[in-house]
């Protein structure tokens, strides 16, 4: 083994030990995150609507499937805003943004009623 490779290995090992001694990066347990799920549907027919883009915290996004459902995981506890962007031919029946709060490990349902244009 070359001297450079030995130095690199020792440096990496000492860095890993330092991180371990300091507790390393703290990642909250999965049960501390919440889930927002729901269904997008046509209010006149109650039929599911696919292709609705649902966003929260501007970076967590899901698109409804053929059954109209969506799921967004890893929602930190506290306040959230959900925004929906319907596909062409549909409009939101209610406000474009839905707000609420979510607790540790909670799963909440936010349905999205749509009207045909």
Q: How does pLDDT run along the chain (117 residues), one tens digit per residue?
A: 555 554 555 455 555 544 555 554 555 555 679 999 999 999 999 999 999 999 998 789 999 999 999 999 999 999 999 999 999 999 999 877 889 999 999 999 999 999 999
| Structural domains of the chain sorted by starting position, each given as residue range(s) with its CATH number in brackets | 32-116 (2.60.40.10)
Largest CA distance in the chain: 74
The pLDDT score that the predictor gives to residue 58 is 78
- Residue 76, judged by CB atoms within 10 A of its CB (0-12, 13-18, 19+), counts as middle
| CB neighbours of residue 34 within 10 Å | 21
The pLDDT score that the predictor gives to residue 15 is 53
The pLDDT score that the predictor gives to residue 96 is 73
Pick the closest to residue 50 from 39, 59, 58, 61 (CA basis): 39
- Please check whether residue 82 is in contact with residue 97, taking contact to mean a CB–CB distance below 8 angstroms: yes
The pLDDT score that the predictor gives to residue 6 is 47
Residues 6+ apart with CB under 8 A from 82: 36, 54, 55, 56, 97, 98, 99, 100, 110
């Amino acid at each position: 083994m070359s001297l450079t490779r030995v130095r690199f290995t020792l440096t990496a090992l000492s860095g890993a030990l330092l991180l371990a001694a300091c507790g390393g990066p703290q990642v909250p347990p999965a049960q501390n995150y919440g889930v927002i799920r729901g269904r997008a549907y046509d209010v006149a027919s109650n039929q599911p609507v696919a292709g609705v883009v649902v966003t929260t915290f501007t970076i967590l996004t899901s698109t409804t499937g053929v059954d109209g459902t969506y799921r967004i995981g890893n929602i930190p506890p506290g306040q959230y805003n959900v925004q929906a962007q319907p596909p062409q031919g549909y409009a939101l029946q209610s406000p474009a943004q839905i707000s609420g709060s979510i607790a540790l490990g909670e799963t909440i349902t936010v349905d999205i009623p749509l009207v045909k244009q």
